[in-house]
Amino acid sequence: MAGLIVLKPGVDWTATGGLFDWTLEFLISSLSDRQAANHLQEIVDNNLGSLWVSELPVAARQEIIDLWRDGLVAAGERQLPNTEHKADVIRHLQELVDATYSADLPGPGTAG
């Protein structure tokens, strides 16, 4: 099953179910908003397969964007298994990070 992250209407990112789950798990332990983290964990645990970032509180949305921009690709390089497809997977994670910019989502320390 594939997973879908909607950054805002018209700007989304799809991935395999495993990469989608890993992308959310990357956030879960780091989010300061434990209610938002629990929501992400529920998505993973129940194989819900989609996250609409706009449904989260503003502060949680900002923190998610900051975490992805600041560390998603590097974490993927460190944590994901070394396979013949790893370079493609890392590029795909970079596409999510790039989408946070093309969606005109605010940068660190700004309200959105």
Tens of pLDDT along the chain (112 residues) come to: 799 999 999 999 999 999 999 999 999 999 999 999 999 999 999 999 999 998 999 999 999 999 999 999 999 999 999 999 999 999 999 999 999 998 776 655 544 4
- Using the Cα atoms of residue 87, residue 89, residue 95 and residue 96 in order, give the sign of their dihedral: negative
110 occurs within a structural domain: no
Whether 27 and 65 have beta carbons less than 8 Å apart is answered as no
β 2-8/50-52 pair status? parallel
112 occurs within a structural domain: no
- CA 63 distance to own-chain centroid: 11
108 occurs within a structural domain: no
90 occurs within a structural domain: yes
Number of domains the chain contains: 1
Residue closest to 7 by CA, chosen among 51, 70, 60: 51
57 occurs within a structural domain: yes
The shares of helix, strand and coil residues in the chain, as percent rounded to the nearest 5, are 60, 15, 25
Structural domain that includes position 36: 2-102
39 occurs within a structural domain: yes
Whether 4 and 24 have beta carbons less than 8 Å apart is answered as no
